[in-house]
């Protein structure tokens, strides 16, 4: 349930876990509560460093704590898009581009917010993202495909929105480039 897109359900699931007084969670309760709150999420993801060099997490808590953290972040990423990101990436990208309807689009600010969150997650968690990289890449690719599909219908888009859509598409490309060129990730390009 920690992976659920509903923040309230995540909080309830986390409270249930806290009832067991796990030693790897108890000292970090407030950090997790701030991560699950949309208002404090961005600040907390920056402050709650899990980097081995500069960490607030004790080494003996790290493994179990990261499992909980990644589940919460996965749920957060789902809630930011409002779309299911599973399935074949090339097929999903083509489908999104073909069916992009300018009248039924996730708000541009929300799309930009998702890309900013992905940037923070990549910067802060880097090599710890191995098992979540396919979902991150799918998410960002679908945002880029949506923007490309919208730009194919630019005659139906308000002129002021066109530049925002281009910026979001470019930001999606940059995020994918970040993932593919990061030294600490398993498939870095040389």
Name the domain boundary from 62, 82, 102: 82
Report the length, in residues, of the chain: 190
Residue span of the structural domain in which 90 resides: 83-190
Angle at 76 between CA 55 and CA 131, to 5 degrees: 65
Shared domain for 41 and 129, answered yes or no, is: no
Shared domain for 14 and 106, answered yes or no, is: no
Shared domain for 142 and 181, answered yes or no, is: yes
Pick the closest to residue 33 from 44, 23, 42, 49 (CA basis). Answer: 44
- Reduce the DSSP state of residue 104 to 3 states and report it: coil
Shared domain for 71 and 104, answered yes or no, is: no
What is the reported pTM?
Answer: 0.52
Please give the Cα distance from 86 to 135 (Å, whole number).
Answer: 7
- Digit-coded pLDDT (tens) for 65-87: 888 888 888 887 776 554 444 44
Shared domain for 103 and 186, answered yes or no, is: yes
Shared domain for 113 and 187, answered yes or no, is: yes
Pick the closest to residue 122 from 79, 177, 84 (CA basis). Answer: 177
Shared domain for 46 and 103, answered yes or no, is: no
Name the domain boundary from 37, 55, 82: 82
Please give the Cα distance from 24 to 21 (Å, whole number).
Answer: 9
Q: What pLDDT does 33 receive?
A: 92
- Digit-coded pLDDT (tens) for 156-176: 888 888 999 999 999 999 888
Please give the Cα distance from 28 to 68 (Å, whole number).
Answer: 11
Indicate the number of domains in the chain.
2
């Amino acid at each position: 349930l920690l992976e659920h897109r509903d923040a309230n359900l995540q909080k309830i699931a986390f409270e249930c876990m806290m009832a067991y007084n796990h030693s790897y969670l108890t000292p970090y309760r407030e950090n997790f509560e701030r991560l699950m709150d949309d208002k404090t999420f961005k600040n907390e993801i920056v402050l709650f460093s899990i980097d081995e060099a500069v960490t607030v997490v004790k080494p003996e808590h790290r493994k179990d704590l990261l499992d909980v953290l990644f589940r919460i972040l996965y749920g957060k990423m789902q809630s930011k898009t409002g779309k299911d990101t599973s399935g074949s990436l090339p097929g999903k990208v083509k489908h999104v581009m073909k069916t992009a309807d300018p009248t039924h689009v996730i708000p541009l600010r929300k799309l930009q917010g998702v890309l900013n969150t992905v940037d923070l997650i990549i910067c802060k968690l880097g090599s710890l993202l191995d098992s979540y990289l396919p979902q991150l890449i799918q998410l960002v690719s679908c945002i880029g495909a949506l923007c490309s599909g919208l730009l194919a219908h630019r005659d139906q888009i308000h002129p002021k929105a066109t530049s925002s859509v281009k910026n979001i598409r470019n930001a999606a490309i940059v995020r994918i480039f970040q993932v593919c060129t990061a030294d600490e990730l398993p498939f870095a390009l040389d």
